[in-house]
Structure 1
Amino acid sequence: MATGGGWNPTDLPKRPGLYLNFVEAAAAAIKGGARGVVAIPLLTYGAGATAKTFYTVEKEKEAQELFGAANIESIRLALMGGAKQVLVYTMPADPTADDYVDMREAFDSRLFNVFVFDQEADATEQDLTKAWVARNRSEGKHFAVVFGGTTADDADPAAGNARTARLKDDYVANLIDGGKVGTTTYSSAEYAPYIAGLIAGTAINKSITYAQVPLDDVNKRLTNAQITAALEAGSLVLVHDGEKVKVEQGLMTSGKKIRAIRARQAIATDITKTAADAYIGKIDNNPDGQAALISAIKAYLERLEASNVLMDPAVTLDPEYESVGDSVYLLISFAHVDSIERIFLTINV
């Protein structure tokens, strides 16, 4: 895996690699990588699979053959949501806290876009997973996590919003209500894999706001005031609009838009991988080499601009730091492109 992560001018990393810092309006990248991979730690499975082993599945039939039809609901939902692949890690029977530590460490060495639990996870594991996301981000690995709660939690939107506050992070989404399909009822935690698939499978120039989900109804229909309070908290809410169930707004628990964060994650991941493959140790740190690196990054950002991911990209040497020796400091800026989510009409009659 490519070396990367944040950097501090008073304590520069020693390992060769590309390091980037996110300032609120700055990020970096070069070329597009794989999208659409959901990671799931599977709790139960048949004899065809081995504990503490990774499996990659792209079709429901593959999952049935590996794990048994009764054990793949989370995988099925992730694929239905739009995941291109599901990266499955098989948990041992009756997993302990140490087994969850081992699981997270195992996923450290794998590439994926969104992580979600197979079933409901307790508050301790949620908190530890949030910390794991933050650690990976600091080390240069970027992915989102989707959490949910129990049916009892879903009955009280205030409980879901409290979970959102506890799990506040740019890379974390928290679903606070589940839904029904026929006679099957899903808690928000049980339905979170569908949302994970939806996030992973949605292009980085699109939003999941108002995306229709295949539910007949939500478990609890929230009032306008409750929906507003949930959005203000940063919760992910499903609503029944009288005809269908849809995502009210694509938000991370920090209140930032999923579309913007996913674009930022893609940019950070792409630049690290491509720089490691094509630039680090391969070009000279002189004006020509610096110009080549700047040109490559700018060309990539301009492709994202043409795809309506961002606007007004700019790439220059950072004037605050001297790019000499084996170090190059770049200053990169752009504006995120958001989706139209609120339309205000004034009608004169």
Structure 2
Amino acid sequence: MAGGNWSATDLPVLPGFYMAFRSAATAAIGQGARGTVIFPVKAHWGPVRQIVELGSENEAIEAFSADDSGGATAYATLRFGLLGGASKLLAYRLTDGTDAKASITLSDNATTPADVLKLEAKYSGERGNKFRVTVQANAVDSALKDLKLYEETKLLRTFTFADGSADAAVEAINGDAANKWIVASKVDDGNSTLAAVSGAALAGGNSGLSGIANGDYIEAFAAFETQSFNAVALDGVSDAALLASAAAWIARIREEGAGAILVVGGGIADDKAADAVGKAVARSAAMSSEGVVNVGAGVKLAGVEYSSAQTAAYVAGLIAGQSLSQSTTYAPAPFEDVTRRWTRSEQEQAVRGGVFLHVHDGRQVKALRGINTLVSPGEGQRNAWKKIRTIRVIDTINADLQRTAEDNYIGKVNNTEEGRLALIGACKQYLQTLAQAGVIEATGYDVYVDTSFAAEPDQVFLKWEAKLTDVVEQIFGTFIVQ
């Protein structure tokens, strides 16, 4: 799918839908489905280096477990993304390549036991080391055996099969659709009778977390490009070199037409430092992009402190999950407090410096102002580009119109006056929908052929004109006492 930005001096070669946004002719916002956030995560369970789609906390626990020990980040990261309001999460489990599956080999009951059945955890990771198996005679039918699978002391599943057959055991375990934990394979027939076992532990599981490096995250970014998403955040990592790589990556894919926003943050020490505002502003200055949001304050939830880098997952969910007519400014948050309460002057410095901040107003925690890291707008931009809402609007209109053009117009409509009128009519109808929803001003929007360019027979240059609406963020009043 080709698309992205274009310039009059360097027209694209590939067929596709190309748009350029100018402050004098701001393109309008879209109505496409939103709410998808993508995360790299570290976990003790789950598919490795694969995109896993999740829609609830229970699904996140089932996919990656709730174990956040030893550097695992999946549960907290995905939970925060859902708390923010994302409707869909795409998670990618990182490892350093040393991850391994826990396993155990069961023997027969011969005088000289022979290995007959191997049980292996479905996924690599230390969670598999908590699995225990018990093999015993079935209490009702002596011709059957039960293999009970436990996670520590919790019974996960009982597999019942004909006694004396490793093949029957394999079929019972692998053929059970409810089995999400182990895979069985026959080693040998043996004497056809499994030996009784009580609480034997699987071993050898390794999560592959200790050696995860920036290169593993960069590899994840490449995988993300195969997906459609609205926001992306890291899993609490705040390494400056990695953040720079992530910002460069998001800048590239945005240039290529992927309207996604990266959300980053800092470590807990920076969040609570005396010069926390300076550190956060410096981080924003290093990014300085309409496509990057920098969270400046950590938060407290259920008595646990989370860094601004961890809170970035929540903000990514908030950005993706809101409707296009909403703003993140003053959006209430589910946290009980922030890890450091900033003074008014610090808050003002943060806003001027492109820092997204959570504050406690004495009653609740809320977002201060919905801004990105763009401090000095570039060519073709204006101050509105500093607002998250504006960028979401621009990104969505781009995605919506590109999808419509590819599905219904490119390669399907003749480049005649009639065909161009059909395309323009569809675009105007789209803008009318946005105007009715209050996303753009109800008057003054238009779509027309841009005659300032000499179009080739297979090219159409269009201009969209619309005025974006905004939300009330500042109220100034004068109270006259008589």
TM over 0.5: same fold?
yes
* 8 Å CA contact retained: 1:29, 1:300: no
Q: For the Cα contact (< 8 Å) 1:59–1:79, is it kept in 2?
A: yes
Residue 324 of structure 1 deviates from its aligned partner by: 4.1
8 Å CA contact 2:284, 2:354 repeated in 1: yes
| 2:48 counterpart of 1:51 | yes
Q: Where do 1:12-91 residues align within 5 Å?
A: 12-28=11-27, 32-46=31-45, 49-70=46-67, 71-91=74-94
Match of 2:287 among 164, 167, 175: 167
SS in 2 for 1:72: helix
Q: Deviations over 1:287-312 (max 9, x none)?
A: 11111111111110111111111123
- Please say if residues 35 and 86 of structure 2, whose CA atoms lie closer than 8 Å, have aligned partners that are also in contact: yes
Partner of 1:290: 420
1:121 aligns with 2:238: yes
Tell me, in whole angstroms, the C-alpha distance in 2 between the residues paired with 1:11 and 1:190. 41
Counterpart-to-counterpart distance in 2, 1:152 and 1:227: 18
Output the CA distance in 2 between the equivalents of 1:247 and 1:82.
Answer: 14
Distance across 1 between alignment mates of 2:451 and 2:457: 16
Q: What CA distance in whole angstroms lies between the structure 1 residues aligned with 2:392 and 2:434?
A: 13
Deviation track 1:247-299 (CA, whole Å, cap 9, x = no partner) reads: 01100111511111111110011111111111101001111111111111111
Q: Which has the higher helix share?
A: 1
1:143 paired residue number: 260
**Aligned partners of 2:304, 2:237: CA distance in 1, in Å?**
16
**1:196 match:** 316
Q: For residues 283 and 59 of structure 1, what CA distance do their matches in structure 2 show?
A: 42
How many residues align? The count is: 346
Partner residue in 2 for 1:331:
463
Q: Which of 1 and 2 has greater Rg?
A: 2
Whole-angstrom distance in 2 between the partners of 1:332 and 1:323: 17
Measure how far apart 1:29 and its partner are: 6.7
- Mapped to 2, the partners of 1:342 and 1:18 lie a distance apart of 38
CA distance in 1, matches of 2:415, 2:30: 21
SS of the residue corresponding to residue 337 of structure 1 reads coil
Give the residue type in structure 1 aligned to 2:34: R
TM-score (norm 2): 0.70
> 1: distance between equivalents of 2:10 and 2:321?
38
Aligned residue number for residue 2 of structure 2: 3
Q: Which whole-Å CA distance do the structure 1 matches of 2:295 and 2:449 have between them?
A: 41
Paired residue secondary structure (1:335): coil
Q: Find the counterpart in structure 1 of residue 360 from structure 2.
A: 240
Task: Give the residue type in structure 1 aligned to 2:63.
Answer: L
Task: Indicate whether 1:344 and 2:476 are aligned.
Answer: yes
Separation (CA, whole Å) in 2 of partners of 1:270 and 1:98: 33
Give, in whole Å, the separation in 1 of the partners of 2:31 and 2:62: 32
**What whole-Å deviation, never above 9, does each CA across 1:206-247 have from its counterpart, x for those lacking one?**
111111111111111111110001001111011111110100
Match of 1:100 in 2: 217
* Aligned residue number for residue 259 of structure 1: 389
Please tell me the residue identity of whatever aligns with 1:54.
I
- Any idea what SS the aligned residue of 1:270 has? helix
Three-state SS of the structure 2 residue aligned to 1:310 is coil
What is the rounded CA distance, in whole Å, between the counterparts of 2:59 and 2:24 in structure 1?
42
Aligned-pair Cα RMSD in Å: 1.4
Could you tell me whether the CA contact under 8 Å between 1:25 and 1:334 is conserved in 2?
no
| Alignment match, 1:184 | 304
Which residue among 381, 388, 409 is the counterpart of 1:279?
409
Structure 1 length-normalised TM: 0.96
1:64 is displaced (CA, Å) by: 0.5
Report if aligned partners of 2:28, 2:468 keep a CA contact under 8 Å in 1. Answer: no
Distance 2:6 2:64 in 1: 42
